[in-house]
Amino acid sequence: MSSRPDTVVVVGAGPTGLALACELGLAGLHTRVLERREAPRRDSRAICLHARSVEMLDLRGLGERFLEAGLPVPSFPLGPKGAVIDFRRLDSDFPFILDIPQSQIESILLTRAQELGVEIQWSAEVVDVAEDDAGVRLRVEGPAGAGEERAAYVVACDGLRSLVRERLNVPFPGAPNPGSVTLADVYLDGLPMTDAHGELSEGGMLLVFPFRDGSCRVVLYDYARASVPVTEPVGLDEVREGLVRVTGSDFGVRDLYWSSRYRSESRQATRYRVGRIFLAGDAAHTHSPAGAQGLNAGFQDAMNLGWKLGAAVAGWAPDWLLDSYHTERHPVGEQVLRLTGMQFRLNTARNRRGRLRRRAAYRLVTPLPPVQAWMARRYSGVSVAYPPTISPSHRLTGTRLPGGRLTLADGTAVRVSELFHDARFVLLESARDGKRADLADLPDHVRAVSYVRRDGRAWPPSLLVRPDGYAAWASDEPDPGRRAPALREALRTWCSRADAARSTRSADTSP
C-alpha cells in the first residue's frame, strides 16, 4: 500500500506501462506499477518497433540494448509481393524497422524500470479507481486479499478492456474489425530471413517478419479461416495449410513455438485525461495491426506524458502542460486509426472494385518516390508534429529533432541523443560565429548546450527542445542579445510555473 503524496501509479505492465514507468523513474518520482499478471509476459504479440520509437529509446540511452536484441530490416510489407515501404532513405539514425518480439521489448523495459527504482507489483489487479480531494484512490486485489492504494496521479495502461476507462465512464467508440488473423512464431526454411515479406492472393494475405534468432512471425489473413472463433488454438498444420492456400507454398514451415488468433478492433477514447487520471496505449486507442502501429503509438503516448507528470509532481509544470497530453496525443491517435483503417480496408476488399483499387494503389501509386517518402515518414512515426504553443511559431516548432552528431563549443563531439539521457529540456545555442548567449540563471531542468557544428542540415541559432525530443521554440535571430527576450518568454511558457520556486544553475556545455 502506498501513502506517499508524490506517488504515481501505473495500472498495467504492458509495453506502454513499462515505458511510462521508466520515464517516471527517470524523473525521480515514486512510481508503482500494478499488474494483474503473476509474472512478466512470455508471449510475443506485437513484433516491431518503428524508427521514431527507436529514436526515443535512444534519447534515453536504451537504443543499444534494443538494437542488440532486435533485427533491423529495411522494409515493411504492405500486402502484395514486392509492395513495401522502403525505410532506407528515412531521415533518421534508424532507417529501418526493428523486428523484436513484444516479450523482449517488455523485458528490456522492465529491467530498466527496476534499475530506476520503480516498484512493480505482480498479481495486483485494480478493481476500482476514483478521484477525491486528496488525490486518487485505487482498490487493488491480490493473493493476500483486497487493499487500497493512494496516488497523486494514475495512468491507465491497462489495455483494450481498460477497467479504469470504464470506471471513468470515458466512451470508447468504434467497432471490431471483420475477420481474424492467424499469428504464428515459426521457422520458415523457404524464405530469406533478412527482410520482411508479403503476399496477397485470392486466398488471403501473408506477412512475414524475421527475428534475430532466425525464426519469424507469420501473420496470415486466411479467408478460409477468418471466421473461426478466436478461442480456437492455432497449430502447425493449420499454419502450413493456410500458407499453401494463400501463397501456394508452405515455405518449409516448422517448429511453431507461439501462436494466436487475433481479432482487432478500431476504437478511440474520447478523452485521454480525467482530472488526475490519464489513459495511454491500448486503453486510449486500438486499431488493426496493419502497419504495426499499436505498440508504437502507446510507447509514444508514454514518452509524451512521462516528463509532463514529472514536471507536475516536481512543481514546475505550467498549468496547461498536463492538458497538452490529450491535445497532442489524441489527434495522433486519430491519424493512426485513419491510416491503419485505410490499409486494412484496402488489403481485405474482395469485390471487383476493391481489387481494382488495390491493384492501382500498389502498382501505380505506392512505388512513386514522393509517396514512398510520405509513407516512410508516416508509418515510422517521424512525421508526428505537435501544435505550436508560442506565437509566432517557427517552422520547426512541434517537430521532432532528428539525430546526428554535434561538435560542442569545447571541441567534443556528441550524438544529439546523448543530450537527452536525463530527460531535461535542451537549449541548443549555436556558437559558430563566436557570439555566445548569456545562459546563466536557467532552471535546473533545462540543459544549455553551445555547439559549433552540426552534421546535416543547419539548425536555427537557438532551439529549445522538450525532453521527448520535440522542438518547443526556435529563433532564426543571429544576435543572442536580440533574441534573449523571446527566449526568456519561451522558457517562462514551457519550463516554469508562475509561482514555482526556481533553482538555478550555470550554463552547462557538457552532455
Ligand X SMILES: Cc1cc2nc3c(=O)[nH]c(=O)nc-3n(C[C@H](O)[C@H](O)[C@H](O)COP(=O)(O)OP(=O)(O)OC[C@H]3O[C@@H](n4cnc5c(N)ncnc54)[C@H](O)[C@@H]3O)c2cc1C
Nearer to ligand X, 199 or 429 (CB): 199
Q: Which amino acid is at 313?
A: V
Among 22, 26, 46, 120, binds ligand X (CB under 6 A): 46
Buried b (16+ CB within 10 A) or exposed e, 162-182: bbbbebbebebebeebebbbb
Residue 183 in contact with ligand X, rule: CB under 6 A: yes
Minimum Å distance from CB 321 to ligand X? Answer: 22
Residue 63 in contact with ligand X, rule: CB under 6 A: no
Minimum Å distance from CB 34 to ligand X? Answer: 5
How far is CA 327 from its chain centroid?
16
Q: Which amino acid is at 184?
A: A
Buried b (16+ CB within 10 A) or exposed e, 413-449: eeebbebbeebbbbbbbbbbeeeebebeebbebbbbb
Residue 122 in contact with ligand X, rule: CB under 6 A: no
Query: What is the Cα–Cα distance from 290 to 297, expressed in whole angstroms?
Result: 13
Among 34, 62, 84, 193, binds ligand X (CB under 6 A): 34
Segment interacting with ligand X (CB under 6 A) among 79-87, 197-205, 291-299, 369-377: 291-299
Nearer to ligand X, 34 or 206 (CB): 34
| Residue 170, CA distances (Å) to 35, 126, 151, 331 in order | 21, 17, 20, 17
Residue 156 in contact with ligand X, rule: CB under 6 A: no
Nearer to ligand X, 138 or 193 (CB): 138
Residue 47 in contact with ligand X, rule: CB under 6 A: yes
Minimum Å distance from CB 481 to ligand X? Answer: 47
| Residue 417, CA distances (Å) to 98, 307, 382 in order | 18, 16, 15
How is residue 473 written as a grid cell? 521554440
Residue 446 in contact with ligand X, rule: CB under 6 A: no
Residue 101 in contact with ligand X, rule: CB under 6 A: no
> Residues touching ligand X: how many (CB under 6 A)?
32
Nearer to ligand X, 227 or 412 (CB): 227
Among 7, 31, 102, 104, binds ligand X (CB under 6 A): 102
Residues in the chain: 511
Contact 100, 48 (CB under 8 A): yes
Query: What is the Cα–Cα distance from 495 to 448, expressed in whole angstroms?
Result: 13
Radius of gyration over alpha carbons of the chain, in Å?
A: 24
Residue 70 in contact with ligand X, rule: CB under 6 A: no
Minimum Å distance from CB 300 to ligand X? Answer: 11
Segment interacting with ligand X (CB under 6 A) among 248-256, 288-296, 416-424, 468-476: 288-296
Query: What is the Cα–Cα distance from 282 to 301, expressed in whole angstroms?
Result: 10
Segment interacting with ligand X (CB under 6 A) among 53-61, 66-74, 289-297, 433-441: 289-297
Concatenate the DSSP letters of all residues of 445-468 into one string: TEEEEEEEEESSSPPPSEEEE-TT
Residue 198 in contact with ligand X, rule: CB under 6 A: no
Residue 157 in contact with ligand X, rule: CB under 6 A: yes
Backbone angles phi and psi of 334, in degrees to 5: -60, -45
Residue 123 in contact with ligand X, rule: CB under 6 A: no
How is residue 56 written as a grid cell? 526515443
Which of helix, strand or coil describes residue 48?
Answer: strand
Minimum Å distance from CB 9 to ligand X? Answer: 10
How is residue 98 written as a grid cell? 526493428
Minimum Å distance from CB 163 to ligand X? Answer: 4
Contact 500, 320 (CB under 8 A): no
Residue 269 in contact with ligand X, rule: CB under 6 A: no
Segment interacting with ligand X (CB under 6 A) among 28-36, 79-87, 395-403, 495-503: 28-36
Residue 381 in contact with ligand X, rule: CB under 6 A: no
Minimum Å distance from CB 337 to ligand X? Answer: 13
Instruction: Enumerate the H helices of 27-131 as residue ranges.
Output: 51-59, 63-69, 102-115
Query: What is the Cα–Cα distance from 387 to 330, expressed in whole angstroms?
Result: 12
Residue 298 in contact with ligand X, rule: CB under 6 A: yes
Minimum Å distance from CB 221 to ligand X? Answer: 12
Residue 31 in contact with ligand X, rule: CB under 6 A: no
Among 2, 10, 12, 180, binds ligand X (CB under 6 A): 12
Nearer to ligand X, 77 or 460 (CB): 77
Query: What is the Cα–Cα distance from 252 to 461, expressed in whole angstroms?
Result: 57
Question: Which of 79, 9, 19 has its CA nearest to residue 282?
Answer: 19
Minimum Å distance from CB 44 to ligand X? Answer: 8
Segment interacting with ligand X (CB under 6 A) among 5-13, 61-69, 168-176, 440-448: 5-13
Residues that bind ligand X (CB under 6 A): 11-17, 34-37, 45-47, 102, 125-126, 157-159, 163, 183, 260, 262, 281-282, 289, 292-295, 298
